[in-house]
Structure 1
Amino acid sequence: MPNDPYVALGLAKTATAADIKKAYRKLVRTSHPDLNPDDAGAEARFKEITAAYEILKDTETRTRFDAGEIDGLGAERAQRQYYRDFAGGPVNAYQNREGFGSNADPADIFAEILRNRARGGAGGFQSPGAHARYSLEVPFLEAAKGTKTTITLPDGQSLSVAIPRGTEDGQTLRLRGKGAAGFGGGPTGDALITVLVRPHSIFQREGNDILITLPISFDEAILGGKVTAPTIDGSVQVTIPANASPGQILRLRGRGIERAGTKIKGDQKIELKIVVPPADNQSLRAFLSEWRKTQSFEPRADFMKEVVA
């Protein structure tokens, strides 16, 4: 089937909402023309997968597509009715001003319908305007905290865009009535803006949580203490527990992403990374050399038992 959104996203019709979102995000990264400037077919693929995602991500439009009410671009499918289905009714949609007799050629009637549609004539034919599709790259922190920005349209005009707090990578924003004009008095299309969130060097997003890897010194890991750590809303003081291990996770409640439609925030998870001093720190090397002579701690004892077992 042409313009089949399931085919465009490489999905079966049994795909879940999570499957649809995952497939779309993966394809955006490999098809977006800004991210693949040397790929001549990237723009066409990007438009196709974005249109497919718009159909399948919404339960109502997906149901209508599955039922054959709309096509893969979201346009209404014409009802399968024949000219004789209207004959004899109070309003014959297939009549022109001169009228058709009962023995009229169906080809002539169909041709007249097309002419009427072209001039917006008989039957009051209307068609909604096409959706305009754009992409917008947004820095990680602006997507997390929300912002307002503008995009420049192909005709040189500017369009103001509000980026909601917690906007996700690959999310599509809809601006009602900012697309192409309709035909025959039909409604104006919408502007569909796909947001590409620029990765951050420190912060990573996991759902509504934020994950960072925090370097700590050798002595901070052994003795514990308070250190400064970044969050998306600014720096905070974090307590490192004594005898901390590399990879240990600390959690800051309510320091993550605000959930859409609520004031509830996710958490920030801090993974500890122990960074040893430079190799030329002679005093530390001398201390550890003496300490090694007397220590009896074997960190791999239980580990080796598991291997043998």
Structure 2
Amino acid sequence: MDPYQALGVAKDASQDDIRKAYRRLAKELHPDLNPGNRQAEERFKEVSSAYDLLSDPDKRARFDRGEIDASGMERPQQRSYRHYAEAGPGGRYGGHGGFEDMDDLGDVFADLFGRAGRGGGGGFRARGRDAHYRLDVAFLDAVNGGRQRITLPDGQTLDVTIPPGMRDGGILRLAGKGEPGIGGGPPGDALIEVSVRPHPLFRLEGNDIVMELPITLDEAVLGGKVEVPTVTGRVNVTVPKGASTGDVLRLRGKGMAAGGVTGDQRIVLKVVLPKPVDDELAAFMEKWRATHRYDPRSDLGRS
């Protein structure tokens, strides 16, 4: 599916518009909020895949140019002699300044220094250059760890292990998976910068996982047990009697483990009234207010 259509945005949408569209749809379609709904699950996968592509400016530009498809796979490019012969001075028979040029450069150095070495009694050996990539990772995989496949510019694939506690902007190093060495030297490494996708329910603060939990008016007044999602599954928590919006429940040890420290999950309560408010509730509150009026704003603006 076209990623722009999947997110419901125009092709000239800003990155902020794309992010907002993803968060809105992800909250609506997330499997935790639609248990057993296969249609919502498939749409959630489409939306996530579209966001993977469009949130990366480089991938988005390549898709817009027709170089990759909606899944991020390379589209075959057929280039003829005329394509290169008619190119400008900077492009005629030239490379693209990317990974594909490095093999040719290595061959030139190997040939040059190999001849010099043969004339001087020894060969020139040098370590290959490091190759740099970017990998989009789901929030839960960054927290819990996982495996993901990355496609290299030459079409080969690498299986990447994502360690638990991976942060946005972190670097994974794959030893020996970079550019080949010169004159028999060792290959470089592959350096993979991780970009963690936002989650519709969770956000990270330090090592703590933070989420907002809607509760009903009666749950706020009377208290009770409610089921909440965590990064490792669903659990039951107790909402205390007389809870208010902004109150925080804490699940010890349910956050992210990183740097030898395991965080907590903080659950921020949000009281949500039914829509519309029915007549019975409104009549009860009118009667209650007449004899139980209080002012929660009494301290505002006073020093």
Normalised-by-shorter TM-score class: 0.5 to 0.7
1:160 is aligned to 159
1:26 is aligned to none
Among residues 269, 274, 290, which one is paired with 1:272 in the alignment? 269
8 Å contact kept, 1:126–1:185 = yes
2:228 is aligned to 229
- Structure 2: unaligned runs, 5 residues or longer: 1-53, 66-109
Among residues 59, 62, 69, which one is paired with 1:34 in the alignment? 59
**Root mean square deviation, CA, Å:** 2.6
Kindly state the Cα deviation for residue 303 of structure 1 after the two structures are TM-superposed: 2.1
2:194 is aligned to 195
How far apart, CA to CA, are the structure 2 residues paired with 1:36 and 1:229? Answer: 39
8 Å contact kept, 1:209–1:269 = yes
How far apart, CA to CA, are the structure 1 residues paired with 2:168 and 2:286? Answer: 50
8 Å contact kept, 1:30–1:36 = no
Give 4+ residue runs of structure 1 displaced > 4 Å after superposition: 29-32, 35-40
8 Å contact kept, 2:114–2:123 = no
**Structure 2 residue 126 is matched with structure 1 residue 127:** yes
Among residues 262, 275, 289, which one is paired with 1:292 in the alignment? 289
Q: SS state of the match for residue 34, structure 1?
A: helix
How far apart, CA to CA, are the structure 2 residues paired with 1:36 and 1:153? Answer: 18
Partner letter of residue 157 of structure 2?
Answer: S
Partner letter of residue 119 of structure 1?
Answer: R
Q: 1:161 to 1:280 in 2, by over 3 A?
A: same
Mapping of 1:1-309 within 5 angstroms?
Answer: 32-34=57-59, 117=113, 119=115, 121=117, 122=120, 124-260=123-259, 262=260, 264-304=261-301, 306=302, 309=303
Q: 1:127 to 1:299 in 2, by over 3 A?
A: same
8 Å contact kept, 1:120–1:126 = no
2:18 is aligned to none
In terms of Rg, which structure is larger?
1
Q: Percent identity?
A: 49
Partner letter of residue 284 of structure 2?
Answer: F
TM-score w.r.t. length of structure 1: 0.60
- Superposed CA deviations along residues 132-153 of structure 1, whole A, max 9, x for unmatched, are 1111111111111111121121
- Superposed CA deviations along residues 142-201 of structure 1, whole A, max 9, x for unmatched, are 111111121121222111110101111111100000011111222210011111111100
8 Å contact kept, 1:129–1:181 = yes
Kindly state the Cα deviation for residue 36 of structure 1 after the two structures are TM-superposed: 6.3
How far apart, CA to CA, are the structure 2 residues paired with 1:169 and 1:36? Answer: 22
Q: SS state of the match for residue 58, structure 2?
A: coil
8 Å contact kept, 2:146–2:163 = yes
Aligned length: 203
Q: SS state of the match for residue 183, structure 2?
A: coil
